[in-house]
Chain A
Amino acid sequence: MICQECNQRPAALHFTKIINGEKTEVHLCEKCAQEKGEMFIFNGESGFTFNNLLAGLLNIDPNFQKPSQSPFHQEEILQCDSCAMTFPQFLKVGRFGCSHCYEAFKEQLKPVLRRLHSGNWTHNGKIPKRIGGGIHLRKQIEELKSNLKDSINNEEFEKAAEIRDEIRKLEKNLAASHEGGE
């Protein structure tokens, strides 16, 4: 059989598409199939959406399949207590109901975020000024603490002492900012 696209090379790939009961057969050579690759998936066939992808991502994870496999444990359905969105609902629409959903589905979310953001699951960018005062300090302290460890490992004790004092100062500020009514 000859490729129906270029009419030159022999067809190596054979698809059968069934859309609403209508059957179409497609025969392509490898080269044309590669060129058309994207079109076959995204060519307006709306069955393949982001939501399917997301649900797919979640279902790959064995953690989510285990509970339902056991007939003796009636697993409680995870629900956000603020907007009442359930985890299965989230899977279906692919959108959260409110900002509290992130906390409610925290554990389930981690692997999803990792897959969506190539391994990342924590924020590393801008922090809003007004609500982020305490966060800024805490981040700074964390960074200093890791510097402190490095200095000790490198036996740079004078530098370590300086860093230690700096951390104490920041921790005092942090405590003050909490008392100041955040």
Chain B
Amino acid sequence: MSLERFLNQAVSSWMSAAGPDSDIVLSSRIRLARNFDEYKFPTLFTHEEAKMIIDNMEVILNQSPIQKFGQMELLKIEELQPLQKRVLVEKHLISPHLAEDSRYGAVLLTENEEVSIMINEEDHIRIQCLYPGLQLSEALDAANEIDDWLESNVQYAFDEKHGYLTSCPTNVGTGLRASVMMHLPGLMLTQQINKIIPAINQLGLVVRGIYGEGSEALGNIFQISNQITLGKSEEDISRDLKGVVSQLISQERSAREALRKTSNIQLEDRVFRSLGVLSNSRIIESKEAARCLSDVRLGIDMGYIDKMPKTILNELMILTQPGFLQQYAGGSLRPYERDIRRAALIRDRIKMEQEK
């Protein structure tokens, strides 16, 4: 497969489009958890019930489709190849749980992949809207519209006191998880992040790295999301998160300015060394790739590097994960082979920009 064709198929709109504050905020996501009233939750439901839920969704989709978000496609998990599933997970369109453990799992996807509706995951329905940049309220509006559309066709599990009833008590109430993906190299380089994270946790929000394991955040990419779903309105949850994110944006910007003033040449050196590594290496592990991509993105944002798209970090962080690399290669790869493939993919992608 040619790189260009691969990119066309692989890159969803939230990865490549620009949004508000997209120098720091990579994407905003809203997720709503919903359940049908008359069926048992996925923990206990029978195969017949699971099938009926998918059938129901297919009927709704065929008989009273929602026009606004374009054509939707229903993918049944059991009909997908392992590699296809992995690619959907790496694009954040479905959860690992849906890909691996769900019975009769399925997903409804819009063409631009901004909207995905998971069926029979931990809850019967999980509506997800993923937008580029800081667009929480836009994503919430879209999710609400889809929610209203579904609700006009099915009976949701809802009670006045507990709100939307979910399989897990951590999601009950609004069923809302709002999250924002941020690139925070300035706060990492100035080592302020260790002070900021505990403060954010105290506000009922969670900060974690989305790539990498444990406490490390590969590529200086962090995800900030709400923990509390009960007792606050959807708008309040989204507004509170947005407030904290705006604070982080201004802190990150001033950290970058401080770095420019105090260690301009060191920073420039770091950026161009990383660009050198990405343009020339023949073997690269995901950890090193992530670090260099973060540096290069910072270099683009701060004006050291021009003629390079801002979205390169987001795009390559996703495309250099094992599933995508193997899809690009057209077969399974051992870890060592992946590192070679990864280096080649990144080199080719950078060359493509430079030849433009």
Contact = CB atoms under 8 A, between A and B. Distances in A.
Given A39-B215, A97-B44, A118-B204, A123 B173 contact: yes
Contacts of A132: 158
8 contacts: A94-B168, A96-B43, A96-B168, A96-B169, A99-B37, A125-B232, A131-B155, A131-B158
Interface of A: 35-39, 42-44, 50, 54, 82-83, 85, 93-99, 102-103, 109, 112-113, 116-132, 135, 138
A112 to B, nearest CB: 6
A98 B162 contact: no
A99 B157 contact: yes
A93 B214 contact: no
Interface in B33-78: 35, 37, 39-41, 43-44
B40 A83 contact: yes
Contact of B169 (A42, A112, A127): A112
Contact of A120 (B122, B170, B228): B228
B250 interface: no
A108 B229 CA distance: 19
A6 to B, nearest CB: 15
Given A38-B215, A102-B159, A116-B170, A126 B41 contact: no
Contact of A122 (B167, B231, B233): B231
Contact of B144 (A38, A95, A112, A126): A126
A54 B163 contact: no
B63 to A, nearest CB: 17
A138 B169 CA distance: 25
A124 B161 CA distance: 9
Contacts of A95: 41, 43, 122, 167-168
A117 B228 contact: yes
B49 to A, nearest CB: 10
Contacts of B194: 35
A96 B160 contact: no
A96 B122 CA distance: 10
Interface in B173-226: 173-174, 176, 194, 204, 213-215
Interface of B: 35, 37, 39-41, 43-44, 122, 144, 147-148, 151-152, 155-170, 172-174, 176, 194, 204, 213-215, 228-234, 237
By DSSP majority rule, is chain B's interface helix, strand, loop, or mixed? loop
> Shortest 7 CB-CB distances between A and B: which pairs?
A120-B231, A123-B163, A99-B157, A38-B215, A117-B230, A125-B174, A97-B44
A79 B335 CA distance: 49
Given A97-B44, A125-B163, A43 B214 contact: yes
B156 A118 contact: no
Contacts of B168: 94-96
Residue of B144, B172, B230 most packed against chain A (CB within 10 A): B230
Nearest to B154: A130
Given A83-B41, A124-B232, A126-B163, 11 more contacts: A50-B170, A94-B168, A96-B43, A97-B41, A98-B39, A116-B169, A118-B228, A120-B228, A123-B230, A125-B237, A135-B160
Contacts of A116: 169-170, 228, 230
B217 to A, nearest CB: 11
Contacts of B161: 122-123
Nearest to A109: B169
Contacts of A39: 214-215
A103 B174 CA distance: 18
A37 B44 CA distance: 36
A116 B214 CA distance: 22
B156 A131 contact: yes
A97 B40 contact: yes
Contacts of B151: 128-130
A150 to B, nearest CB: 22
Nearest to A122: B161
B37 to A, nearest CB: 6
Nearest to A99: B157
A38 B43 contact: no
B22 to A, nearest CB: 28
Contacts of A43: 213-214
A53 B91 CA distance: 30
A42 B215 contact: yes
Contacts of B163: 123-126
A82 B157 CA distance: 14
